[in-house]
Amino acid sequence: MLLTTNFSLDEFESKDGSSMPYTVLQNVKELANALQVIRDHFGVPVTITSGYRSPAHNDTIEGAVKGSQHTLGKAADLKVQGKTAREMYDGIEMLIDKGLIPQGGLGLYSNRVHYDIRGTKARWGVSADNAKKGFLGVLGGLVLTWFIGKQMGL
């Protein structure tokens, strides 16, 4: 069943073959509308690597949060043809800022992004990345200062 111009229901199905409860299906339809806006923005195919996960299937995924937005049919992990995860993340953030897609969760991974329509703002991946860079940058600066000081006999 086609949900939007480019997304069909089977792309969102749980990988363990569980059928979607009615409320999940309603969420998936809303999510598909947002993904279509994302797809139109990039103008290239968008692959859903993980959509709805039945609670049982979600439990088998390493690192997955219990009660994840995926188990509600509100989340999708995405790959966009020819785009880096960072480019996808920034593009989706811009669409949220413009109010073209719902506010929600946005996570940056090495080769994909997670987007969900939980309604409240949640971000991960990027800030953790920046914090690490910031810390290493500060540490590097201190070591360099110490080294130069030592060389100059200060």
CA distances from 138 to 23, 43, 132, 134, 146 (A): 49, 40, 10, 6, 12
- Using rule CB under 5 A, residue 114 touches Zn ion: yes
Beta bridge partners of 107: 114, 124
Q: Minimum CB separation from Zn ion for residue 89, in Å?
A: 13
For Zn ion, the closer CB: 74 or 114: 114
Q: Residues touching Zn ion: how many (CB under 5 A)?
A: 3
Environment class of residue 49 by beta-carbon count within 10 Å: exposed (0-12), middle (13-18) or buried (19+)?
A: middle
Stretch that binds Zn ion, among 28-36, 91-99, 113-121, 146-154 (CB under 5 A): 113-121
Residues in region 1-40 near Zn ion by CB under 5 A: none
For Zn ion, the closer CB: 66 or 150: 66
Number of Cβ within 10 Å of residue 4's Cβ equals 15
Q: Minimum CB separation from Zn ion for residue 138, in Å?
A: 32
Q: Minimum CB separation from Zn ion for residue 142, in Å?
A: 37
Helix (H, G, I), strand (E, B) or coil at 80: strand
Please tell me the distance from the alpha carbon of residue 5 to that of residue 133, in angstroms, as a whole number.
Answer: 41
For Zn ion, the closer CB: 84 or 145: 84
Binding-site member from 58, 77, 95, 117 for Zn ion (CB under 5 A): 77
Are residues 77 and 114 in contact, defined by beta-carbon separation less than 8 angstroms?
Answer: yes
Name the site residues for Zn ion (rule: CB under 5 A).
Answer: 75, 77, 114
